[in-house]
Structure 1
Amino acid sequence: MPLNPEDPVALGDFELLGRIGQGGMGQVYLGESLGGEPAAVKVIKPSVVDSESRKRFAQEVEALKTIYGARIAAFLQADAEAEQPWLATEYVDGPDLARHVKTHGPLPSVLAAALGAVLAEALSGVHDQGLLHRDLKPANVLLGPNGPMIIDFGLAAFTESSVALTMPHQVVGTPICMAPEQAAGVKPLTAAVDVYALGALLLFAVTGHYPHEAATPYMVFHLVTDPATAPDLSGVPAGLEPLLTVMLAHDAGDRPSLTEVVQRCRAVIEAQGMKIAQARRKLTSHAMGPADAPPTLVWPAPASDTPATEIVPADLESPAEPTAARPEQPGPMTRTLRHSVQARRTADRLRAVYAATAPF
C-alpha cells in the first residue's frame, strides 16, 4: 500500500516506497538501499516505544547480527537508539505460510515434509549459534522464489543468557504455536520449544488448523498447558501423523531433536518415491503459484493473523495503550528520491495488489 502522509520517507540509508505489513509492535515498509537493494524495514510504533520495548528491539538486532544461514532473512542495518527504532532485513518477495494456506488450502504431505526438513535444518543452525527463535509460526515463514525463509527474531533468546527481558510470570509469544513449558513460564527454555512450534506450523500446513484453538488467547493458553488435553491432529496425513505426534508431545523430553525431524521428513518424502531435492523444488514452485498469478506481497504477516501476545496471568485483559499522535513528516516532494528500475517495478506491483483488493 502507498505510504501515509505521516509515514517517514527514509530511514538510515533506505528510501521507503510503501507499506507491506504491520503487527502489534510496528509497521513494516518496503525500502530501497542506496545501491537499489530492496529491504523490509521494520519500525516500532510510537505508542509502544518505552524502555522495555527498546531493550527487546535491541536484543532482536543483536540476534539478527549473530544469525546467519540460507533460510534466514539477512540483517542489513538498524538503529535501536532512534526516536523510532528501526531495522532493515533482506526482502523476500513471496507470501507467508499463513496467507498461502488460507488462500490455496493445505499443502500435500510430501511438500509439508519438504518444508519441515528445510525449516528444521535452518532452526538447527540457529540453535548451533546459541539462539532459540521462540515465536516460530506460519506468519513468520515466507515462501520466497528461492525457498522458505524464517523471519522475525523479535522474541529470540540467547540460550546461555542470564538476562531476562520479561517478568517472572510473564509469557511472551503466540499461544497457538507455543510449547507447554513456554506457556507455563518455565525457564530456561530449550531447543524443544522450537521443535514444538515447528510441529504446530506443520500441522497448520497440512490441515489448516492448530494443535489447540479457542475463542481467546487465555483459553488457548489453558489448553496448551493442560497435560490431559491432547493436540488436535484431525486431518493429518497418515505418513506425517507419527512425526507430528511426537513433535507436539506435552513433555519436552519426549520430542525428537531437529536432526531426527529432518531424517523423518526425508523418510516421508522417499516413501513417496521422491528425493528431498525434488520435493524442495516442488515446494518452491507450488508456493510461487502460476506464472500469471497476481503478486502477493506480505511481510511479516497478514493483518488477520494472530499477533504475538503477552499473557500475564495477573492482567490478561489489560487494554491497549492509545496510539500517540505523531508529528507530521515532510512530504515526498521535500527531497530528491532515488528510484531504480527494480524500485519502480516493485512499487507498480504494490499498487496493482492494492487496487485489486481495495473495496472501492
Structure 2
Amino acid sequence: MQITPLNPEDPLSLGDFELLGRIGQGGMGQVFLGESLGGEPAAVKVIKPSVVDSESRQRFAQEIEVLKTIWGPRIAAFLGAESEAEQPWLATEYVDGPDLARHVNTHGPLPSVLTAALGAILAEALSAVHTQGLLHRDLKPANVLLGPNGPKIIDFGLAAFTESTISLTAPHQVVGTPICMAPEQAAGVKPLTAAVDVYALGALLLFAVTGHYPHEAATPYMVFHLVTDPGTAPDLSGAPSELLPLLTGMLAKSAEDRPSLTDVVQQCRSVIEAQGMKIAQARRRLTAHTAGQRHKAAPADGAPTIPWPAPASDTPGTEIIPADLETPLPSDAPATSPTLVETPGPAEPPVHDSPGTLSPASRDHSDGSRRDQPAPGRPPTASRRPKEGTHTLRHSVQARKTAERLRAAYAAKAPF
C-alpha cells in the first residue's frame, strides 16, 4: 500500500497514535498510517474539518459503536477513537494490501475457484456481523482489503443496527454505492434486511470474476434506474458457468428470492470441491495469488507499488511505497532524532484544508520537510495544537526507523 508524507497542515498525533504518513483519502476524511504507544500500526481515519457538523459527528459516533460491537478475523479490528474531539478520529487495524477494486483493475479478474473462496470468506464474515444485529449496507470491492493474511472488510460507516428504531436518514433518503446496491435499498425501502448485504456480496463477486458490475451506466441516477427496474436483469456476461447459479440467486431483484449467507457459503464450497480442492486450500491459494500478483508488479529491487486512489483535484507529487521503507538507511545517515516528511507543493483546495498549520519556525524551509526535535512529553491531541517550540512527539524504535526511511526515500526521489 502506498504511503505519502504528511502535509504541513496534518496533525502529528491523534490521541495516543503518532501519525507517520498518508495512506488514503475519501469524500469525508483522510486516512493516515499511525502507530500506537506500543508500536502497533493503525489506519487512523479523520473527518475533514470542512464536513464536521452535528450530523457527521453522530454518524461517526455510530460507526465507532458499530466497530466496538462487531469482531472477527475478517473484520479490521477497532483500536481506538474520539468522536468528540475537535477533529474526530477513528483508529482500526492496518491491513497492508490493496483493495479488491484496485487489484482487479490492475491485475484482472480472479479465477472462478478463487472467487468462490472469496465468497465463502466474506459470506461467513457478514453472517457473523448479522448475528450481532448489524448490516454493513455498503459492501463493495473498495471496502475489501487483500492483506497478507487474507481479505478483510472495512468501513462500517453506513452500517445499521437491524432492529434500531433510530435512523440517521430521512424517509426515502438513500445512502450507499449504487453499483453494489440492492434494489430495495436503492428504492428507499425500510427497514432493510440481511438480503441487502447478500446482493452487495453478489455484485462484488461478479466484479471479482468478470471486472464489471451487475448494472453500469454513465451516471449514478441511471444506475439507480437500472437497479430498481424490475424488467432489467443484471448483466452476468463473462461469468463462468459454475458460478452462474450462485450469482443469479444473489442478484435476484426480490429480497425473498436471494439465498441466505449460509447457503452462499455452501454453494461456494460446492464450486471449490467440484474442482477437486478443499475450502482451506482455496483460501490459501487466494491469499497466495493476490500476494503473488503484487510481487510480480513490484520493481526489480523492491516491493510492489500499490497506489491509493486520490481525488481528481489533487496535484500529483512524489510518492513513497513500502519498498522505500524496506531500503536500508545510507551509511552516513544521522543517528539523531527523526524527521517527518511533508509533500512540498500546492495546498489542497480550501474544502480540504485543516484550520491549523505549522508555524514557520517549526520546519526547515530549505526543503520544507523537517520539523524540529520536540522536548519529551505526551503527544498532543488533535483538538489542541501545541504552541511554537512546545510540540512533542513519541519516538519508538519503529517510529524512528520509519520516519528516517521516509525522509531518505523522499529525498532520493525529490526533483530538487
Normalised to the residue count of structure 1, the TM-score between the two structures is 0.89
Instruction: Report the RMSD for the aligned CA atoms in angstroms.
Output: 2.5
**Whole-angstrom distance in 1 between the partners of 2:144 and 2:403:** 21
Q: 1:7 to 1:181 in 2, by over 3 A?
A: same
Q: 1:178 aligns with which of 163, 178, 181?
A: 181
Deviation for aligned residue 1:191: 0.2
Q: Separation in 1 of the partners of 2:24 and 2:189?
A: 32
- Partners of 1:38 and 1:343 within 8 A in 2: no
Deviations 1:179-237 (CA, angstroms, capped at 9, x unpaired): 00000000000000000000000000001111111111111111111111111101001
Q: Secondary structure, in 3 states, of the residue corresponding to 1:117?
A: helix
Q: 1:106·1:207 contact (CA, 8 Å) conserved in 2?
A: yes
Matched, 1:295 2:304: yes
Match of 2:149 among 139, 142, 146: 146
Cα distance in 1 for partners of 2:350, 2:199 equals 32
Task: Determine the structure 2 residue equivalent to 1:340.
Answer: 397
Contact in 2 for aligned 1:138/1:201 (Cα 8 Å): yes
The answer to which of 341-350 and 53-62 deviates more is 341-350
Q: How does 1:247-286 map to 2 (within 5 A)?
A: 247-286=250-289
- Work out whether residues 134 and 156 of structure 1, in 8 Å CA contact, stay in contact via their aligned partners in 2: yes
Pick one of 326, 329, 340 that aligns with 2:355.
Answer: 326
- The CA distance in 2 between the partners of 1:105 and 1:155, in whole Å, is 29
CA apart distance, 1:170: 1.0
State how far apart, in whole Å, the 2-side matches of 1:115 and 1:353 are: 36
Q: Is residue 117 of structure 2 the alignment partner of residue 108 of structure 1?
A: no
Do structure 1's residue 14 and structure 2's residue 11 form an aligned pair? no
1:46 maps onto 2:53 in alignment: no
CA distance in 2, matches of 1:345, 1:88: 19
Q: CA deviation at 1:287?
A: 0.9
State the SS of the aligned residue for 2:215. Answer: coil
Tell whether 2:205 aligns with 1:202: yes
The answer (yes or no) to whether the contact 2:26–2:311 under 8 Å persists in 1 is: no
Question: CA separation in 2, counterparts of 1:192 and 1:205?
Answer: 20
Gaps of 5+ in 2: 313-348, 363-370, 373-390
Kindly indicate whether residue 33 of structure 2 is the aligned counterpart of residue 30 of structure 1: yes
Q: Distance between the aligned counterparts of 1:258 and 1:296, measured in 2?
A: 35
* In structure 2, distance between residues paired with 1:38 and 1:2: 16
Deviation at 1:328, TM superposition (A): 1.4
Shift of residue 341, structure 1, vs aligned partner: 3.0
1:10-44: CA deviations, max 9, x gaps? Answer: 00000000000011111000000011000000000
Higher mean alpha-carbon deviation, 257-266 vs 284-293, is at 284-293
- TM-score, normalised to structure 2's length? 0.77
Q: Which residue of 1 aligns with 2:63?
A: 60
Task: Note if contact 1:61-1:87 (Cα within 8 Å) is conserved in structure 2.
Answer: yes
Q: Which has the higher contact order (CA 8 A, sep 6+)?
A: 1
- Secondary structure at 2:145's aligned position in 1? strand
Given the alignment of the two structures, is residue 88 of structure 1 paired with residue 85 of structure 2, yes or no?
Answer: no
Segments of structure 1 that go 5 or more residues without pairing to the other structure are 306-319
User: Compared with structure 1, are the counterparts of its residues 297 and 12 closer, same or farther at alpha carbon in structure 2 (3 Å cutoff)?
Assistant: farther
Question: Aligned in 2, Cα 1:355/1:67: closer, same or farther, shift over 3 Å?
Answer: farther
Structure 1 CA distance for aligned equivalents of residues 232 and 174 of structure 2: 20
CA distance in 2, matches of 1:97, 1:350: 30
Q: Does 1:240 align with 2:275?
A: no
Distance 1:359 1:67, change over 3 A: farther
Candidates 181, 196, 215, aligned match of 1:193: 196
Do 1:79 and 1:85's aligned partners in 2 also have CA atoms closer than 8 Å?
yes
Structure 1 contact 17–347 (Cα < 8 Å) conserved: no
1: CA distance, partners of 2:270 / 2:18: 46
Q: 2:185 & 2:350 partners in 1: Cα distance? A: 26
Give the direction of change, closer, same or farther, for the CA distance of 1:146–1:354 in structure 2 (3 Å limit).
farther
- After superposition, the C-alpha distances for 1:304-337 in whole angstroms (9 at most, x for unaligned) are 79xxxxxxxxxxxxxx994466221465434234
Distance 1:274 1:237, change over 3 A: same
- Indicate which of 161, 170, 177 corresponds to 1:158: 161
Residue pair 1:114, 1:279 contacting (<8 A) in 2 also: yes
Report if the CA contact (8 A) 1:97-1:142 is conserved: yes
The CA distance in 1 between the partners of 2:145 and 2:269, in whole Å, is 21
For these two proteins, the number of residue pairs brought into alignment is 343
Structure 1 contact 297–350 (Cα < 8 Å) conserved:
no
Shift of 1:352: 6.2
Contact 1:97 1:143 in 2 (8 A): yes
Alignment match, 1:74: 77
Contact between 1:2 and 1:351, CA under 8 Å: does it hold in 2? no
Structure number, greater radius of gyration: 2
